[in-house]
Structure 1
Amino acid sequence: MNIQPSLIETLSSLIETPSISSTLTEIDMSNLPVIHKLAGWFENLGFHCDIMPLEEPGKANLIATLGQGSGGLVLAGHTDTVPCDESLWKSSPFQLYEANNRLYGLGTCDMKGFFALIIEAVKEYLATPLTSPLIILATADEESSMNGARALVKAGKPKARFAVIGEPTGMNPVYMHKGIMMERIRIIGQSGHSSNPSLGRNAMETAHKVISEILNYRQELTSRYNNPGFTLPTPTLNLGCIHGGDNPNRICGHCDLDFDVRLMPGMDSQAIRTEISNRLLPIAEKDQVDLSVIELTPSIEPFSGQKESDLVKTCEKLTGYSAKTVAFTTEAPFFSKMGMDTVVLGPGHIEQAHQPDEFLPLDAINPTIKLLKGLIKQYCL
């Protein structure tokens, strides 16, 4: 029989196994080493493990199930991390480091640490017959395409009644969050010698007009949509990056402008995309350039759970915190689409995620384990 590693050993092993996901193929990594580690540990605990390969090479989800029957509880997390600049870290991002009552490392709070805490919590119930299954879900590519969650929806599994996604929320239950769409406006003009502007059609000058129109549209969105349940109660539109031209003495023949929109519940990404295209078309026609609005990644719709749901109320009781909303995006809308009562709830804070010297506070460990035990007792025993 294999000896189960301690919590620190488990987390250390996960942190030491890089699993960066990125839209840039040159830094994107496989998550299979993390999936196989988790599968081995959960199999040792008596779980049945189903590794679900994705269409993308080197990517997979893990569905680990303890017990049988209908209903049950999903404890979910993603196995990938964002990219990092190692030069900005005080220690290696791929080595667990303890200092200042914190555990440092890439993925400690977002969100490999959640799996180590799940393993500690389930140990108490391994000899106890479950009346409903406990399902551990580990997904791929949450930080980039969300293809792992999309594959689950397509496959229609797992089937469960409740789902808790352990993203860093400071142990506050989250019942609603914004969605996101990431788009590119591509302008194709005509390059030429800069000494005579009439020789070309400057894509960057069109981009200047496009930006002005996009900012006007942003103002309209904030007046059209308002949900006081959010700290920032309106949608946001961020101009993220712009690339165009190749030399000062050439008329810019090509320009890309990338932006995102944080969608409020009730907003539809396709409708927003169509509105933007319709507003920019007259500019393109006047400047005699080709303009297209391109979806960079499939949109993630907003998540809107029920504040009075059984799971929300249970999480409020177990944590002592009232349910809230957040502006960041998770896999929750995919789980909700599969019919699960879903809450986002986990240790650590979003302010530590995607940052150098990411950490998980030591004083968050025992409360999280206690919470997970309470959820298992409530929904699986």
Structure 2
Amino acid sequence: MSKQTPPLIQMLGQLIAAPSISSTTTEHDMSNLAVITLLAEWLDNLGFKTEIMPVPGYPGKANLIATLGHGPGGLVLSGHTDTVPCNDELWKSNPFRLTERDNRLYGLGTCDMKGFFPIAIEAARKFINTPLAAPLIILATADEESSMSGAQALVDAGKPKARYAIIGEPTEMTPIRMHKGMMMESIRITGSAGHSSDPSLGANALDAMHAVLSELVKYRNHLQQNYQNSAFSVNVPTLNLGCIHGGDNPNRICGQCELEYDIRPLPGMGLSLLREDITRRVRPIEDLFNVKIDCRPLFPGIPSFETDKNASLVRMAEQLTGHTAEAVAFGTEAPFLQSLGMETIVMGPGSINQAHQPDEFLALDQITPTVDILTQMIQRYCVEVQKENTGV
């Protein structure tokens, strides 16, 4: 074991002490380079070949691809380096200092998901002097919590290449083989203002928005009548009307109004087709109310994700954890890695119930079992590769 790479808990402490918030709000958004640099140094010391990959168009943001061994196939252990913003005053301890109490490790990102990296590195240490038949790749991405720009940059670059991928999001080590997609969309209506005493003096954007809202509710009903998947606790696609802004005074015809909403599509529902459906449904409202309607995504979106229940990686994860693979409503980077040709699951320590909350924590008793499971995964997919075609 390299003396230059710290023990697991010390690694986690250093990662927590390196703030890496990503946010759609400029004043909260930070670089993730401090985290990437730490991981690259530790993995380089262990003999990994490390590549720091700047994210195009996002200054101060980078991915890390660290590879042990070479050749085709192999296993990716992947996580994102960023966290959501936090309210320091709501925490019982400093969110940027790792704090142990009640058999838990507290700090921003402990479970979502900086804690996965030291655990993955601890499992990887066991194979430093073992000949690998296929490579082990530790992947660290940028901006999962905001734009998915890091994952998209990987897709655009066509790397890394491997056969299997485990994304260590907090699932309490229950394997996840399906999740819904996520779209955040805007509909902006531009009318014309005028004196409210005479409606003919303007074109009321709020009146038009009322018609748009009715059309969206009808479309939601249509989706839920035609798409269901019993693997999900909420077994239908959802369309949430999130926030609306418009007008400036009660005695003035509303000249502009904007709605922001989200859709959580089921696997098999394409984002672009959903956008096309909505645009087609609301477009006639323009002529009806003499307004201009602009439909646009607030970010590119996260596709839905599904790995076959009989896939090798799913069966192996079920065998090692004792949990049947499940489906979740939240989105991850899984569809991006899957699009690179990897059989992919989501599985990591910690609970999603602690993510994005004050006093986020990782339970100490989840660390050793997770190291053991990842060790067995590395053994199976990087050392015993000849078993790939014979089942688990």
Does the pair score TM above 0.5?
yes
Contact 2:4 2:42 in 1 (8 A): no
Contact 2:189 2:209 in 1 (8 A): yes
Q: CA deviation at 1:195?
A: 4.3
Mind listing any 5+ residue stretches in structure 1 that lack a counterpart?
A: none
Deviations 1:330-380 (A, max 9, x none): 111111111111111001111111122211111111111111111111111
> Could you say if the C-alpha distance between residues 220 and 54 of structure 1 is closer, same or farther in structure 2, counting changes exceeding 3 Å?
same
Worse-matched range after superposition: 107-116 or 194-203: 194-203
Q: How does 1:1-381 map to 2 (within 5 A)?
A: 3-55=4-56, 56-381=58-383
Q: CA–CA distance in 1 between the matches of 2:99 and 2:207?
A: 50
Q: CA–CA distance in 1 between the matches of 2:251 and 2:31?
A: 43
Deviations 1:165-189 (A, max 9, x none): 0011111111111111111000111
Q: Secondary structure at the match of 2:76?
A: strand
Q: CA–CA distance in 2 between the matches of 1:241 and 1:91?
A: 33
Between the aligned residues of both structures, percent identity stands at 60
Contact 2:305 2:335 in 1 (8 A): yes
Worse-matched range after superposition: 283-292 or 36-45: 283-292
Contact 2:62 2:142 in 1 (8 A): yes
Q: CA–CA distance in 2 between the matches of 1:243 and 1:34?
A: 38
Deviations 1:247-293 (A, max 9, x none): 44433211110111111112111211121112212223211111111
Deviations 1:83-114 (A, max 9, x none): 22222222222121222221111111111000
Deviations 1:1-29 (A, max 9, x none): 75322222111111111111112222211
TM-score by length of 2: 0.94
> Could you say if the C-alpha distance between residues 200 and 85 of structure 1 is closer, same or farther in structure 2, counting changes exceeding 3 Å?
farther
Q: CA–CA distance in 2 between the matches of 1:86 and 1:199?
A: 50
Amino acid paired to 1:188: T
Q: CA–CA distance in 2 between the matches of 1:229 and 1:266?
A: 14
Worse-matched range after superposition: 29-38 or 194-203: 194-203
Residue of structure 1 equivalent to 2:389? none
TM-score by length of 1: 0.96
Q: CA deviation at 1:196?
A: 4.0
Q: CA–CA distance in 2 between the matches of 1:53 and 1:162?
A: 24
Q: CA deviation at 1:326?
A: 0.9
Worse-matched range after superposition: 267-276 or 190-199: 190-199
Q: CA–CA distance in 2 between the matches of 1:77 and 1:285?
A: 48
Q: CA–CA distance in 2 between the matches of 1:62 and 1:75?
A: 12
Q: Secondary structure at the match of 1:350?
A: coil
Mind listing any 5+ residue stretches in structure 2 that lack a counterpart?
A: 384-392
RMSD of aligned C-alpha atoms? Answer: 1.5
Q: Secondary structure at the match of 2:126?
A: helix
Deviations 1:101-155 (A, max 9, x none): 2111111111100001112212222122222111000011111111111111111
Deviations 1:41-85 (A, max 9, x none): 111111110011111111111000111221111000011111222
Number of residues of Structure 1 aligned to a counterpart in Structure 2: 381
Amino acid paired to 1:224: N
Residue of structure 1 equivalent to 2:386? none
Amino acid paired to 1:378: R
Worse-matched range after superposition: 110-119 or 351-360: 351-360
